[in-house]
Structure formats: structure tokens, C-alpha cells
């Protein structure tokens, strides 16, 4: 199981939210070079780079900054997975062409399955979906809109074979530890795909998560990472 750092971008700044609340944004003072030092020191191979402003406004908003980070990561042989407000094939093509490893799709996929099928069959393993869950339902548009029950959604995407990112919104940004019961429920609902979990990560949870299932491909760290960088870099 790999640990995957997340870098969230909002108004050209690196930020963190608490439980997805845009009224509780913490602007991070350290620069990207501090993140890169952490990645290299800890031999990180994959990071998720999310345009939070793009997710909120339903279109790419921080393209220039994200592009520069993609190029710096590639130069240092670190893969970048890009998400947040990506709703056009030309945007997917652009990010892949400049060196992004994979594209993360959320709201655009969930509300338009035919569009998703088109993207999925065109780019195949370069595409993965991210589902933000609260009380068994998928939340959309920056976690503000309740949409569909997870079980119902999985029936709609039986054709999809790649990994799925699942975020526990109630744990995200809290630093209170992983909800193991939540993860077990998700594994029962998502029965075939590999899963990358997110929300509440603490180092002490690593072994429990790793041993839970071979289908758990990784765990995303956010605020846990930011605290480390604040203290060490």
C-alpha cells in the first residue's frame, strides 16, 4: 500500500480544508519547494494535485500553477495525478501531454455516464474516479451537493475497471484517525476495483489499513503531510 500526498490549490495557493468546508480554509505558508523536499526525502512516487477552486467553479482555474508543478514533479521522477474541475477532453489531453500521469474525475463523471464512457475508453488506464462520501451518499461540486447513493452509482459504472479514490468527508482534515468501519463498508460496496482511501490518516493507522484488504492500493495524506512539512521543512 502506497502513501499518496495531496496538494490542494485554491486561488493560486496551497491550502487545506476542514471536512470539505470552504469557509474553513487554511492557507499554507510554505512553498512548493518544501513539499518537493519532503517527497524526495521520503521517496514518494505519486502525488494527487487538486484544483479546489476548479472543483468549486466547475472549470479549471489554476492551470498555470498546476502545469508548473506537474513539470517540476516529472523532472524529479514523481508521478502527478490531476483533478478538480476537469470537464473537457481538451483539458485532459493538455495535462497528459505536459506530463501528468493520470487524470482524476469526479462530478463530471457522476452526472454524465455517457461522457465518462467516452473518456474512459479513449484514455483507459490514464483515468481514475474520485468519490467523496458522506453518510453513504456521493457529494458533488466541492462537497456541497448531495447526489446519489454509492451502491446505485456502482451499478451504473460496472464497465469501469480502474482504481477508485474514496474520501471520507467526515474525517477529512481532522487528524483524528481513520474510520475503519467506514473503510470496511466501502470494500463491501466496491467489490472489484482497487481503492485509494482518503480522510483522517495518521501514521499509526498504516498497518491496520494495509492488512485490511489487498484491494487497498493506497491512502491519501493531506493535513498530516502539511503538519510534517511545517515542522521539518
pLDDT bracket for residue 4 (50, 70, 90): very high
Cβ-based neighbours of 188, under 8 Å, separated by 6 or more: none
HSE, CB side, 13 Å, CA atoms: give it for residue 30.
18
pLDDT bracket for residue 18 (50, 70, 90): low
The mean pLDDT of 78-99, rounded to a whole number, is 94
CATH architecture of 2-232: Alpha-Beta Barrel (3.20)
pLDDT at residue 11 greater than cutoff 80: yes
Closest by alpha carbon to 105, among 129, 124, 122?
129
The mean pLDDT of 116-142, rounded to a whole number, is 91
pLDDT at residue 19 greater than cutoff 70: no
Chain mean position to CA 51: 10
Rounded to 5 degrees, what angle do the CA atoms 162, 194, 169 make?
A: 100
Lowest mean pLDDT among 33-47, 50-64, 99-113, 188-202: 50-64
What is the model's pLDDT at position 83? 94
How far apart CA 70 and CA 49 sit, in angstroms, is 9
How far apart CA 123 and CA 102 sit, in angstroms, is 9
What is the model's pLDDT at position 62? 86
Residue % of the chain over a pLDDT of 90: 57
pLDDT at residue 205 greater than cutoff 90: no
What is the model's pLDDT at position 21? 66
149-194 residue pLDDT tens: 999 999 999 999 999 999 998 887 777 788 999 999 999 999 999 9
What is the model's pLDDT at position 39? 93
Residues in the chain: 233
pLDDT at residue 23 greater than cutoff 80: no
Name the residue with cell 463523471: 109
How far apart CA 228 and CA 233 sit, in angstroms, is 8
Active-site residue numbers?
8, 132
The mean pLDDT of 114-134, rounded to a whole number, is 95
The mean pLDDT of 119-148, rounded to a whole number, is 89
Cβ-based neighbours of 176, under 8 Å, separated by 6 or more: 200, 202
How far apart CA 186 and CA 181 sit, in angstroms, is 9
15 DSSP β-pair partners: 8, 27
What is the model's pLDDT at position 58? 72
What is the model's pLDDT at position 97? 97
Name the residue with cell 512539512: 229
pLDDT greater at residue 117 or residue 148: 117
Q: Residue ranges per domain, the chain?
A: 2-232
Amino acid at each position: 500500500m502506497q502513501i499518496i500526498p495531496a496538494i490542494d490549490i485554491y486561488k493560486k495557493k496551497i491550502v487545506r480544508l476542514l471536512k470539505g468546508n470552504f469557509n474553513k480554509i487554511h492557507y499554507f505558508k510554505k512553498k512548493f519547494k518544501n513539499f518537493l523536499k519532503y517527497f524526495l526525502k521520503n521517496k514518494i512516487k505519486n502525488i494527487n494535485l487538486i484544483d479546489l477552486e476548479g472543483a468549486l467553479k466547475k472549470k479549471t482555474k489554476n492551470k498555470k500553477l498546476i502545469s508548473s508543478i506537474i513539470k517540476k514533479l516529472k523532472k524529479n521522477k514523481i508521478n502527478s495525478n490531476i483533478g478538480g474541475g476537469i470537464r473537457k477532453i481538451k483539458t485532459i489531453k493538455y495535462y497528459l501531454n505536459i506530463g501528468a500521469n493520470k487524470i482524476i474525475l469526479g462530478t463530471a463523471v457522476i452526472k454524465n455516464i455517457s461522457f465518462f464512457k467516452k473518456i474512459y475508453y479513449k484514455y483507459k488506464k490514464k483515468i481514475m474516479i474520485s468519490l467523496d462520501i458522506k453518510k453513504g451518499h456521493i457529494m458533488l461540486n466541492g462537497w456541497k451537493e448531495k447526489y446519489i447513493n454509492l451502491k446505485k452509482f456502482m451499478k451504473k459504472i460496472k464497465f469501469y475497471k480502474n482504481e477508485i479514490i474514496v474520501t471520507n468527508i467526515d474525517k477529512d482534515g481532522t487528524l483524528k484517525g481513520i474510520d475503519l468501519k467506514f473503510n470496511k463498508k466501502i470494500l463491501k460496496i466496491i467489490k472489484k476495483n482497487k481503492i485509494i482511501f482518503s480522510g483522517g490518516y495518521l501514521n499509526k493507522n498504516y498497518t491496520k489499513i494495509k492488512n485490511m484488504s489487498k484491494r487497498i492500493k493506497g491512502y491519501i495524506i493531506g493535513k498530516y503531510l502539511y503538519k510534517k512539512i511545517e515542522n521539518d521543512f
